[in-house]
Amino acid sequence: MTLSTRALPAGTPPVFPACFRAGGLGRVIGAGGWRADLLMLAAGALAALAFPPVDLFPILVPCLAVLTAAIDAAGSWRGAARRGFLFGLGLHTAGLYWLTDAILVRADSFWWLVPLASPGCALILAPITALPAALCRLAPVGWRRLLAFAGLWTLFDMGRVFIFSGFPWNPLGTTWELPGRLGDVMIQPAAWIGVDGLTLATVLLALLPQGGRRGVVAALAGLAVWGLAGWGRLVLTPTAASRNPTVVLVQGNVSESRKIDGHDNVAIFRSYLALTRSGIADALPEAGARPVVFVWPETAFPGLLQEDDIARRMIARAGRGAAAGVIGTIRSDAEGHWRNSVMAVTGPDGRVADVYDKSHLVPFGEYQPRLLPFHVVPGDGMAAGNGVRTWHLPDVAPVGPLICYEVIFSGQVVDAKDRPDWLVNVTNDAWYGDSAGPRQHLAAVRMRAVEEGLPVARAANTGISAVFDAHGHEVARLGWNRQGVLVVSLGAPLSGTLFGHWGRWIPILLALATVLPTLGSWMRRAGRRAVARRL
């Protein structure tokens, strides 16, 4: 796997992948300088096309080939780190472009942040790509380095849960969440290895074609095995009879500017009541002996529901016949801290049967990171809850509530000591407009269903509201920018998944296994150098 040295500047290591034998890109990478830096940014940005909703996952093959070629050609680990950093900067700037929409909602105050939102977040995330680029050079050029790169990429990517309150958005494993049945098949291995395990497999498959014809054959064989395993799980995994409820997902379609303005709060509330009555009327005949649960999105109630007895009674009347209502709202706790919450209301008086507070807060949106020299979060921001838990509501199968952003945290959406039978996710993606953001968020919901083997009902303010069964198959959806209700009888949970039992330890151990050959090689070389110095 070498590139003709005639295409390279003097002194450049001839270690480029076979796909660059024909000149142009190889000369740019080998020469270094600003042209190589721009190429890294462009390769990273193009790689973002693999994410939903574009789903152009084959683009990862040439993009990662450019990156690994640049790592090999770098004169030092520092040069490799710079090239990895620029690739990550391009990847996350393009992949998170939709963050700009949230700034535009408050453009009167933060207009100056419009060109900085996506690149600013990418600057924070880019070191996650720089580190594997630098460290994989401990391995000799060839298959050991590629293995090390894949494992290190996965391990550092998993470390994103520790950045601020965590930001594990768009791991490369999500690129297999293709629409329809093909996507259902390809994401099934997440039940065994999680989305981070899929990330490891994705990087390995994308790197295999660098081995020439044999590498391409190996990649195709790997894809075939992957597909057969996914198809087998879909066909062979048994499901029990369902005791889960019929859900009524209420999508109010209230713009964020209208919510912030606050002048239409009464009209918004009445709209949600009318939609709930309509949905319950449709659900009761379909439900039969099942309980009915209606769900309002994140912060759907325009006030403090816990303190508003009259509003809760009105909600109970609108939902007459339902076993419970799940309502997104803001609340103030006993210490005066504001919390983003979801409440379960039951009975004819709308009694608050249980409360769940969001525990993973959105950095720069719900809380103010201390490193910022300016203030972007209104007031003191939100206070975080105590973590995921399971609700046991009267006549309703155990349910795990999740608020918005929390659903992106693989392995952290279920109380392992009190496993629910289904998950409910309430969200408000109106901030991000009709962009890739809400679609990528929806893809995370689908992946959690597969990982945990649980059906998930998602109510989104402006869409996309949807229901996924325990295999991650989309049962129904209510599209973007539509007002209405979605009535679905939930399927049964699966008995449990390997990933649901062992969690992120599985992808961690798999990634470490790919790094071990590099560690062994490095230790042997270090030992030989130590012996040579003594002699």
Residues marked active site are found at 298, 358, 404
Q: In 135-235, at which residue ranges do the beta strands (DSSP E only) sit?
A: none
Report residue 213: phi and psi, to 5°.
-60, -40
Contact 457, 295 (CB under 8 A): yes
**Helix, strand, coil shares, percent, the chain, to 5:** 55, 15, 35
Task: Please tell me the total number of residues recorded for the chain in this structure.
Answer: 535
Under DSSP, the state recorded for 404 is: G
Residue 494 · residue 481 · CB < 8 Å: no
One-letter amino acid for residue 477 of the chain: R
Structure tokens given for 7: 């295409």
Instruction: Extract long-range pairs of 363-369: CB within 8 Å, 24+ residues apart.
Output: 363/163, 363/164, 363/165, 363/167, 365/102, 365/431, 366/340, 367/165, 369/164
Which single residue is written with the structure tokens 């309703």? 396
Cα separation, 300 vs 276, in Å, equals 12
Task: Give the angle subtended at the CA of 156 by the CAs of 520 and 46, to the nearest 5°.
Answer: 115
- Whole-angstrom distance, CA of residue 413 vs CA of residue 406: 7
Query: Any bridge partners for residue 172, and if so which?
Result: none
Query: How far is the C-alpha of 80 from the C-alpha of 375, rounded, in Å?
Result: 35
**DSSP codes, 408-459:** GSTT-SS-TTS--SEEEEEE-GGGG-SSHHHHHHHHHHHHHHHHHT--EEEE
List the one residue out of 296, 356, 351 whose CA is nearest residue 331.
356
Chain-centre distance for alpha carbon 13: 38
Residue 354 CA to its chain's centroid (Å) = 27
